[in-house]
C-alpha cells in the first residue's frame, strides 16, 4: 500500500523577489501571455484569466515582503479588536451584533492611522471568512467548544449557559445570512488566512498553516484557490 502523502506545511516565509521596474514587468507578462491568448482565440478564452495565470506563473501571487508584514500586523490587530469587542458584549446576541463587532474594530483600526484603508479592508475580508468558518465549525455543539474550534469566539468560552444559548442562536443566524457566501467561501493565494488546513480546489492537495499567513499558490499544481477543511 502506498504511503499517504503528508499535507504541505506553510510558515508564511518567502524569499524576497528581485525588484523589477513596473513597466518592464508589465511588458514581460504581456509577452508571455500572448501565446496563451492566441491558443484561446478560437475557443472563447478569457484574456483577463490569461493575464492573471501568466502573472502567477512568472512572478508568484504574494504581496511584497513589506506589504505582507503590514497586512499581517493589521490582521492580528483587527482580530484582537474583534475579540475584545465580542468579549465585552453583554447584551443579547444576534448576527448583527457579530457583524457590528467587525465593523467597529475596522473603524478603530482605521482611526489609528497605522495602515492604509486598502490594507485594512483586505484583511477585514479575511477576518470575516474566519468568523463564518468558525461559526460553521461550532454550530450548536457547545460541548465541543474549544480554542481550536471557537477561533474568534473563544472569548465566550467561559460564559454562562444562558449567554451561550443566545450565542448559538446568533451564530446560526449569521450562518443563515451567509449561506450564499459559504457556497463560494474561497480563499485565494495572496490573501491572509488563519492557521489550520486548507484544500486546493483543483487537485485536493492539503496545505497546513501553522500560524496566520498569506496563502501561497498550491505547491502541487500552482492553483490559486482553496477551501477550509
* Residue ranges of domains in the chain: 65-183, 186-229
**Cβ contacts of residue 70 below 8 Å, gap of 6+?**
115, 116, 119
Q: Average the pLDDT over 27-53 and give the result.
A: 48
Contact between 33 and 54 under an 8 Å Cβ cutoff? The reply is yes
Assign 9 a pLDDT band (cuts: 50, 70, 90).
Answer: low
What Cα–Cα distance (Å) separates residue 100 from each residue in 82, 86, 94, 206?
9, 10, 10, 33
What was the pLDDT predicted at 50?
A: 52
What was the pLDDT predicted at 73?
A: 96
For the chain, how long is the longest CA-to-CA vector? Answer: 64
Whether residue 24 has pLDDT greater than 60:
no
Range with top average pLDDT, 20-29, 55-64, 208-217: 208-217
What was the pLDDT predicted at 184?
A: 59
How far, in Å, CA of 211 to CA of 11, rounded?
7
Amino acid at each position: 500500500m502506498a504511503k499517504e502523502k503528508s499535507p504541505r506545511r506553510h510558515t508564511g516565509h518567502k524569499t524576497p523577489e528581485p525588484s523589477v521596474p513596473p513597466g518592464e514587468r508589465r511588458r514581460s507578462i504581456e509577452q508571455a501571455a500572448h501565446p496563451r491568448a492566441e491558443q484561446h482565440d478560437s475557443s472563447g478564452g478569457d484574456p483577463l484569466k490569461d493575464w492573471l495565470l501568466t502573472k502567477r506563473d512568472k512572478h508568484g501571487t504574494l504581496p511584497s515582503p513589506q506589504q505582507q508584514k503590514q497586512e499581517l500586523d493589521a490582521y492580528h490587530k483587527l482580530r484582537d479588536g474583534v475579540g475584545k469587542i465580542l468579549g465585552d458584549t453583554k447584551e443579547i446576541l444576534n448576527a448583527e451584533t457579530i457583524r457590528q463587532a467587525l465593523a467597529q474594530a475596522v473603524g478603530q483600526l482605521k482611526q489609528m492611522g497605522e495602515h492604509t484603508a486598502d490594507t485594512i479592508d483586505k484583511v477585514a475580508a479575511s477576518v470575516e471568512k474566519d468568523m463564518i468558518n468558525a461559526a460553521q465549525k461550532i454550530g450548536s455543539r457547545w460541548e465541543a467548544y474549544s480554542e481550536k474550534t471557537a477561533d474568534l469566539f473563544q472569548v465566550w468560552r467561559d460564559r454562562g449557559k444562558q449567554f451561550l444559548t443566545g450565542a448559538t442562536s446568533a451564530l446560526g443566524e449569521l450562518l443563515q445570512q451567509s449561506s450564499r457566501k459559504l457556497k463560494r467561501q474561497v480563499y485565494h493565494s495572496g490573501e491572509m488566512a488563519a492557521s489550520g488546513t486548507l484544500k486546493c480546489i483543483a487537485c485536493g492537495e492539503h496545505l497546513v498553516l501553522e500560524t496566520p499567513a498569506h496563502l501561497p499558490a498550491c505547491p502541487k499544481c500552482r492553483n490559486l484557490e482553496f477551501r477550509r477543511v
